[in-house]
A and B are shown apart, each in its own frame.
Chain A
Amino acid sequence: EVQLVESGGGLVQRGGSLRLSCVVSGFTFSSYSMNWVRQAPGKGLEWVSCISKSSSYINYANSVKGRSTISRDNAKNSLYLQMHNLRVEDTAVYYCARNLGEAAAGVYKFDYWGQGTLVTVSS
């Protein structure tokens, strides 16, 4: 069974930092691009970042570019999102999502998602 489990969310002050993690099981992690997608409370979905299976291709949404770093450890079946200089508008549930297709080839289809981890940024 495919599972993705996020952790690392919490309450942080504006300007602070957090590192989100996503541990996966049930599939060969190193064979898939991975993404972070977020959802502000009561709002829609926003793609945040992607990383290719070998980490050779990385991309960010403009809203987090320069403040966030995506990474992965294929030996640990883990995906990470380091976030700095957090803003109130970063408050959201952050989901990790497996990519059905190669992100470096411009294919973004999110076929498995974790349950999400809530990041709350206070002013």
Chain B
Amino acid sequence: DILMTQSPSSLSASVGDRVTITCQASQDISNHLNWYQQKPGKAPNLLIYDASNLETGVPSTFGGSGSGTDFSFTISSLQPEDIGTYYCQQYHHLPPTFGPGTKLDIK
């Protein structure tokens, strides 16, 4: 299985900060990488698909980039409602696998 790693595992930032999360795959996954946000007690929500495409209805403050094995997810200006855990997920190789998550909260 493809191993996905994320950094950092947790992050505390201030409102208005630019936040970046990185995700690394154990093998080349092209751009077959998605990002999800999960708020406490809720189901995950798809934010970014195919590394850089914003899902419909997702604010443009969210963004993604990367290809191959190294990817990043960015929030350009952190808002209080952005708290939660963020997961990357690859689907280039079966089975689809998720990263361990990055827990984001407000400082």
Residues of A within 8 A of B (CB): 44-47, 59, 61-62, 95, 100, 106-111, 113-116
Contacts and interface: CB of A to CB of B under 8 A. Distances in A.
A106 to B, nearest CB: 7
Interface residue tally on B, bucketed by range: 20 to 34
Nearest to A93: B43
A100 B49 contact: yes
Interface of B: 34, 36, 38, 42-46, 49-50, 55, 87, 89, 91-92, 94-101
Contact of A47 (B92, B97, B99, B101): B97
Contact of B98 (A45, A62, A116): A45
B100 A44 contact: yes
The interface residues of chain A, by DSSP majority, are classed as loop
Contacts of B99: 44
B52 to A, nearest CB: 13
A45 B101 CA distance: 9
Given A108-B91, A109-B34, A116 B49 contact: no
